[in-house]
């Protein structure tokens, strides 16, 4: 992978048209899918999507899924884009599929893909299972190429349709962000 960094659009709509959203002080149970979906829809209005989440202190991290040894993490480390299920996701830059998994616990990432770019990694979660199943580790993804689709609640960890993305210079994100990471090789039949 080489060349100048010239990012391509990730979504099929201008991200600048997405409305802002914060979950830091919501007054409903985020594991109540109906309440959460109603909140997202009311906040979204006519915008193609909602965006937010980075560096928010979120009570959701007090659930058993996120319990771990040591000091608990309550800060959200990714950027959330809430939009329709099956919305395609394009690689902003040329990348190689580093790893992929289906994290199917309630509240987890659902379909998850980590891409290796030139000098950093990106994690994309809450994806449709077909996204993960349609790729192979080491596969080259061109800038602007569709590599995934947002999942519905049945396959994305139980959330309204969302894509959470984060970037890191190391691939510790595969172990730190999702404590129950399970490589796709062991999650899929065959």
Tens of pLDDT, residue by residue over 8-22, are: 999 999 989 999 988
Range list of H helices, the chain: 33-44, 129-133, 173-176, 184-187
- The tokens describing 8, both together, are 């391509």
How, if at all, do strands 95-103 and 88-90 pair?
Answer: unpaired
Query: Long-range CB contacts (< 8 A, 24+ apart) of 67-75?
Result: 68/179
Give pLDDT, residue 109. Answer: 87
Average pLDDT in the chain: 81
- Which of 3.40.920.10, 3.40.462.40, 2.70.70.10, 3.30.565.10 would CATH assign to domain 21-187? 2.70.70.10
Question: In terms of DSSP H, where are the helices of 45-170?
Answer: 129-133
d(CA 62, CA 68): 10
Residue 46 has pLDDT above 90, yes or no: yes
Strands (E), 42-120: 50-52, 79-82, 88-90, 95-103, 110-116
Look at residue 183 in the predicted model and tell me its pLDDT. 44
Tell me: the pLDDT tens digits for 178-188?
Answer: 444 444 433 33
Q: What is the pLDDT of residues 47-100, one digit of tens each?
A: 999 998 766 766 665 666 656 666 666 666 778 899 999 999 999 999 999 999
User: Which of the 8 DSSP states describes residue 9?
Assistant: P
Read off the pLDDT of residues 110-121 as tens digits, 9 standing for 90 and up. 999 999 998 888
Q: Where are the domains of the chain?
A: 21-187
3-state helix, strand, coil in the chain (%, to 5): 20, 25, 55
- The pLDDT assigned to 141 comes to 96
Within its chain, how far is the Cα of 156 from the centroid?
9
pLDDT in tens, 135-162: 998 999 999 999 999 999 999 999 999 9
Residue 88 φ then ψ, to 5°: -70, 150
Confidence of residue 174 (pLDDT cuts 50, 70, 90): very low
């Amino acid at each position: 992978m080489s060349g100048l960094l010239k990012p391509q659009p990730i979504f099929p709509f201008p991200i600048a048209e997405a409305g802002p959203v914060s979950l830091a002080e919501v007054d409903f149970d985020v594991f109540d899918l109906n309440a959460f979906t109603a909140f997202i829809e009311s906040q979204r209005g006519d915008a193609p999507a909602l965006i937010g989440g980075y560096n928010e202190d979120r009570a959701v991290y007090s659930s058993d899924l996120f319990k771990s040894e040591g000091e608990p993490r309550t800060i959200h480390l990714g950027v959330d884009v809430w939009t329709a299920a099956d919305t395609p996701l394009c690689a902003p830059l040329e990348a190689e599929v580093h790893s992929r998994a289906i994290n199917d616990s309630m509240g987890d990432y659902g379909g998850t893909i980590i891409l290796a770019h030139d000098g950093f990694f990106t994690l994309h979660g809450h994806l449709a299972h077909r996204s993960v199943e349609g790729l192979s580790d080491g596969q080259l993804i061109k800038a602007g190429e569709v590599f995934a689709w947002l999942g519905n609640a049945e396959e994305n960890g139980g959330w309204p349709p969302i894509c959470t993305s984060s970037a890191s210079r190391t691939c510790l994100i595969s172990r730190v962000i999702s404590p129950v990471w399970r490589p796709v090789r062991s999650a899929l039949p065959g």
